[in-house]
A and B are shown apart, each in its own frame.
Chain A
Amino acid sequence: MDIYLQQLPQQLINGLTLGGVYALIAIGYSMVYGILGMLNFAHGEVYMIGGFAGWWVLHLLTRNNEVLFSAALVISLMIIAAMAISALVGVIAERLAYRPLRNAPRMNLLLSALGVSIFLQNLVLTYQGAKVRFFHISALIPDSLRIIQIGPIVFSFMRGLVIAITFLLMGLLTLMIKRTKVGKAMRATAQDLEAASFMGIDVNRMIVLVFLIGSALGGAAGTLVGLLFTQVDYYVGFQAGLKGFTAAVLGGIGNIYGAMLGGILLGLAEALAVTFLPSAYKDVVAFVILIVVLIVRPWGLVGEKTPEKV
């Protein structure tokens, strides 16, 4: 038991990092669900494309194992590129695959999203190949800074950075939604699309904005995970998408704060699970949580139960 207690702070840090990333992915699912009531199956692929975008920036800016500019600038560029490209992909998918089906039955929309997911995954497979791409972060961070020790807790500099960036992004999103006029319009649209349009809100613009923000955050998560685990391949989106969705459902789908909470809880749960179980079953833990939540409390931890309108 002692050995577990010693590992505990370490695992909490790991869980928090992972959880932050899940939260970023979950926000994208939740925002889209909140406004359109649809499950964006392709969100995982958007995350994967963000990872590739970050990898390309790092790859292009690295010569002989040294980056061309300062590490801070390179990391910023990676994240910005990832967010921009993922946002673009998300918005294009909305325009071409989802908007024509705005009034179609649910199932058609889901299948279309499935189609987008398959298309994007295989697009990357075709042009980037199946091999794993490694992030050469040794070029970014000097060895002296790689490991930080505070008391009994040892963690990598990257973990600290990832936690900082995820919480910064979540903070910015919260501010935007709570404090700005656009944020208010988005909340109104999520509550009632029709009523919002009667109030003069350009609903289509809001939907595009939701896809833009959600996808950008997903893309950022892709690059952050790349920095953390130093690799990306065309298949990572599938798992990450499922995890993000699990987090969104855990918190209460449609609710952004629920997505943040759900992401962090899921990360912590997974981190604690690997202390007790073989790591191959880490994913099984997440899916079991998902199934249990859906059956016991399908509206999630902070979501609201709504009666069906007849």
Chain B
Amino acid sequence: MIDRNHTAVLNPSNAAASSDPKRLVIYALIAAILIIAPHIMPNSYWLRIYTMTGLWAMLALGLNVVAGFAGLLDLAYVAFFGIGGYTFALLSSSQLNIHLPFMLVLPLAAFFTMFVGIALGLTSMRLKGDYLAIVTLAFAQIFKLLLLNLDAPVNITGGVNGIYSFDPINLFGIRILSPVAYAYLIWFFTIVVTIGSFRIKRSRFGRGWEAIREDELAAEAIGVNTTWMKLMAFAGGAFIAGAAGALFASFQDSVFPNNFDFPQLVIVYCMVILGGLGNITGVILGAVFLSILPEFLREYGAYRMMSYGLILIALMALRPQGIMGEIGFLVKKKVRPDKDHSDRLKASTELYYDQKGKMPETIEPKPQYSKSNQAILELKHITMDFGGIKAVDDLSLFLNAREILSIIGPNGAGKTTLFNLISGIYPPSRGSIYFEGGEITGLKPHRVVRAGIARTFQNLRLFDKMSVLDNARVGQFGRTSAGPLSILFHLPLHKKEERQTDQKAKEILHLFGARLTGYRFGQQAMSLSYANRRRMEIARALSTEPKVLLLDEPSAGMNPQETIEITAFIKTLRDVFGYTILLIEHKLKVVQTISDRVIALDYGVKIAEGTYEAVACSEQVIEAYLGRKRQPIA
């Protein structure tokens, strides 16, 4: 909806970042270490630990996708590791007398595990956090019971004895037999998974997952298909676990049920949590640390698992973001323009007006839109029944294109419920909703957003730990379509969409001037002031490129000056950019200034409709707000 002519000219994206010389030095250093390391290990024992460290890191990175990026407590993860291991064992050994080449078995194991992951995800996706944990734990138990008991009547898994002695790996004629070769092979895949993790984290997928982790409902309400994305996380984690399982089986040359049991799960979780959920570098360091540390504490072996328990408890209480999270020297210091040279803080309003003059946007955009008489959104006989309480009762209303319609009414009148109904958070008990002629009743919130209706939340549901820019970028999720392959291989589609997302997000944030731009791009949403968070909510809704905006008390908690400013801004959104706006507002001054039409609700029923003056003078509205006049006793 936003016309390019009206917005600020933006800097070209920082494409230079990847060829940063410092970065290249770090890459070279890592490569050198990985090449030299297997040759300088003091003995074969330490070489084995080195290789296992790579495997643990890979496993931890896989878990990081599910638990770290998407925030799903998946306790079946170790079973996926096992499925990969046993798939490899069955397809390249004498157990079933199948001898497939490694180049085929590795992808087979990974994809098969991924399908099991998707299947488990499909059955349990509707469950919330703790239920999900238990279902996955039960799944892991069933898996282990099957491993132990499927040696009779037909011997498949070998029971407690496991399966051993596999075909050697043959890569294009090179046989991987020596421990050094295994070290290279496994670390090669670890690096592949690491690069993949970084790429996926900085993509629409990464942002979508982070949004889900922060606030699932808000993520859904700005266009992230949460069910699908959670399934993708499950699939991704299972894929990596399956591949790691196959590599592990080959490296150990055997698989046993107790290789894939609860203790292994706990260890991987400790690695991920120690490193910080979602923090890729941290997770790798966590894996390295917890792989090597036990070797120095061998005489205290009995206490190892106990201490893992303590690590979990202590980290959760003291440092839930992990050891790596927010360490000062790793984060670049940004210049803060809200401080002058004497480091004195400037007032934010002062800054706002300072910057406004400097903005390249010199031509004041001219109002060009006004309301039409064509209904864009129509509600017909909508009822919402919460077990006997009718929050909205047989309500019909229409919203014309490019109109500003305000909904007023006392607390509990059903205003926010109305928004929840339109945006698809509650499916209505009865009635139907039409948008641009098509029916949208009962669509999931992300589909409603894709249709072109975006909302803000009265009680502010920003993604607090994401940056301002990322909050706006998430809005583009539903407007982009790059899939995992496109993201992992940086295909043109992904690159194009990233540029588009970046540009759109910045354009939208520039509408708010210095309040949400410049150094604020990188700030976490939770560090914004209350009024700025309200603006951020609007910016996030705008970034989904909607036609209709549902604003739930946009001026709540703002001071008089800010209220005037936001009122004017909302008017601009219609007059200049042509949005259609449905507004809930308690400040009647705001309603009076910008509304084309007003509807008053009380107990879920429409009690008045018309111009502001007509509604404000309505007998019923006055009664709803102030109560009935005492009747004179006859």
Query: Could you tell me which A residues sit within 8 Å of B by CB distance?
Result: 38-39, 96-97, 100-101, 104-112, 114-123, 125-126, 238-239, 242, 245-246, 249, 280-281, 283-284, 287, 290-291, 294-295, 298, 307-308, 310
Asked if residues A307 and B309 are in contact (CB atoms below 8 Å), the reply is no
Asked if residues A110 and B130 are in contact (CB atoms below 8 Å), the reply is yes
Beyond A107-B71, A115-B310, is A39–B134 a contact (Cβ under 8 Å)?
yes
Beyond A115-B316, A298-B127, A310-B217, is A122–B426 a contact (Cβ under 8 Å)?
no
A254 to chain B, nearest CB (A): 12
4 more A-B residue pairs beyond the given contacts A122-B309, A295-B123, with a C-beta to C-beta distance below 8 A: A100-B317, A119-B313, A294-B131, A298-B131
Chain A residue nearest to B127 (CB atoms) is A294
A93 to chain B, nearest CB (A): 9
Asked if residues B309 and A120 are in contact (CB atoms below 8 Å), the reply is yes
Number of interface residues of B (CB under 8 A): 44
A90 to chain B, nearest CB (A): 15
Beyond A107-B73, A111-B312, A120-B309, is A284–B145 a contact (Cβ under 8 Å)?
yes
Residues of B close to A249: CB separation below 8 A: 131, 134
Residues of A close to B269: CB separation below 8 A: 111, 114
Residues of A close to B45: CB separation below 8 A: none
Most chain B beta-carbon contacts within 10 A, residue among A39, A96, A249: A39
Asked if residues B386 and A307 are in contact (CB atoms below 8 Å), the reply is yes
Residues of A close to B124: CB separation below 8 A: 291, 294-295
Residues of A close to B67: CB separation below 8 A: 107
Asked if residues B306 and A114 are in contact (CB atoms below 8 Å), the reply is no
A109 to B141, CA, bound (A): 22
Chain B residue nearest to A109 (CB atoms) is B316
Asked if residues B149 and A294 are in contact (CB atoms below 8 Å), the reply is no
A117 to chain B, nearest CB (A): 7
Q: B312's contact among A118, A120, A280, A284, by CB below 8 Å, is which?
A: A118
Asked if residues A107 and B129 are in contact (CB atoms below 8 Å), the reply is yes
**What are 22 sample pairs from A and B whose C-beta atoms fall under 8 A apart?**
A39-B130, A97-B316, A97-B317, A100-B317, A101-B316, A112-B312, A112-B316, A114-B312, A116-B309, A116-B313, A118-B306, A122-B303, A126-B306, A242-B137, A242-B141, A287-B142, A290-B135, A290-B138, A291-B123, A291-B124, A298-B127, A310-B416
**B interface: dominant SS:** helix
B287 to chain A, nearest CB (A): 17
A97 to B312, CA, bound (A): 10
Residues of B close to A115: CB separation below 8 A: 308-313, 316
Chain A residue nearest to B138 (CB atoms) is A287
Chain B residue nearest to A235 (CB atoms) is B262
Could you tell me which residues of chain B, from 91 to 137, have a CB within 8 Å of some CB in chain A? 123-124, 126-127, 129-131, 133-135, 137
Beyond A115-B311, A238-B262, A284-B145, is A245–B134 a contact (Cβ under 8 Å)?
yes
Q: Does B320 interact with chain A (Cβ within 8 Å)?
A: yes
Chain B residue nearest to A305 (CB atoms) is B387
Q: A119's contact among B130, B133, B145, B309, by CB below 8 Å, is which?
A: B309
Could you tell me which residues of chain B, from 443 to 499, have a CB within 8 Å of some CB in chain A? 457
Q: Does B302 interact with chain A (Cβ within 8 Å)?
A: yes
A50 to B83, CA, bound (A): 35
B124 to chain A, nearest CB (A): 7
Residues of B close to A107: CB separation below 8 A: 67, 71, 73, 129
Asked if residues B138 and A111 are in contact (CB atoms below 8 Å), the reply is no
A283 to B149, CA, bound (A): 12
A205 to chain B, nearest CB (A): 21
A30 to chain B, nearest CB (A): 13
Chain B residue nearest to A280 (CB atoms) is B149
Q: B313's contact among A96, A104, A294, by CB below 8 Å, is which?
A: A96
Beyond A115-B313, A118-B266, A307-B386, is A110–B217 a contact (Cβ under 8 Å)?
no
